[in-house]
Amino acid sequence: MPDEDVRAQDAVMEQQYALAGARHYHDAVYLCDDQRWPTADHLFGFAAECALKSLLLRFAVHDVSTYRNGNAMNRARWVNPRTGKEDWLGHINQVLGAAPLLAYGRGGPAFVEAVDRLNVFASWDLADRYRDGRQVSDSVVAGRQEAARLALSLYELCELTGRTS
């Protein structure tokens, strides 16, 4: 598949991730208002994950793609610069490892500092949806809500400026 077709597909996925991130965030806020912390926490994690994946697909074009060997994949993959190995872009606690791919140029350090604030998701776990919810408190959710809002704001800023730094 020609590179322009791959980039066009990645652009579609980038937009879908961005829209999904906003939707997950708004649903999570609704659940917070109802004090349904575990599910709100879950959706804030998805919101931040989608915002970062969207940024990675747009700005880390040489390291992240939804295509391999000319074939479409249902999930984005990235090349870890530390290991040189390809891996899936998983959920937010895994996507955080790929975030440094976005930091380059003069604004790189400031971008890294902002992304570091997303580390509140390092202990976020997809399997929490099967637990009784006692491990999620309103204070944990408040921190993750702020981080998800930051991730979406970073996406919006990069969308407006056309760059990450």
Q: pLDDT value at position 78?
A: 78
Chain-centroid distance, C-alpha 123 = 15
Task: Map residue 85 onto helix, strand or coil.
Answer: coil
Q: pLDDT tens for residues 138-147?
A: 999 999 999 9
Order of strands, sheet of 64-68, starting from the edge strand that comes earlier in the sequence: 64-68, 71-79, 86-88
What's the domain count of the chain? 1
Supply the mean pLDDT for the chain: 82
CA angle 98, 91, 68 (to 5 degrees): 65
Q: Which residue has the higher pLDDT, 74 or 55?
A: 55
Query: At 63, is the pLDDT very low, low, confident or very high (cuts 50, 70, 90)?
Result: low
Q: Is the dihedral of CA 100, 102, 104, 106 positive or negative?
A: negative
Q: Which residue has the higher pLDDT, 76 or 58?
A: 58
Backbone phi, then psi, for 142, in 5-degree steps?
A: -60, -45
Q: pLDDT tens for residues 15-31?
A: 899 999 999 999 999 99
**Does residue 137 register a pLDDT over 80?**
yes
CATH number at residue 102: 1.20.120
| 55, 102 Cβ separation under 8 angstroms | yes
| 88, 66 Cβ separation under 8 angstroms | no
Domain that includes residue 136, residue range: 3-161
**Does residue 54 register a pLDDT over 50?**
yes
Q: pLDDT tens for residues 99-129?
A: 877 776 666 777 777 788 889 998 888 888 8
Q: pLDDT value at position 1?
A: 46
Distance CA 40, CA 27 (A): 8
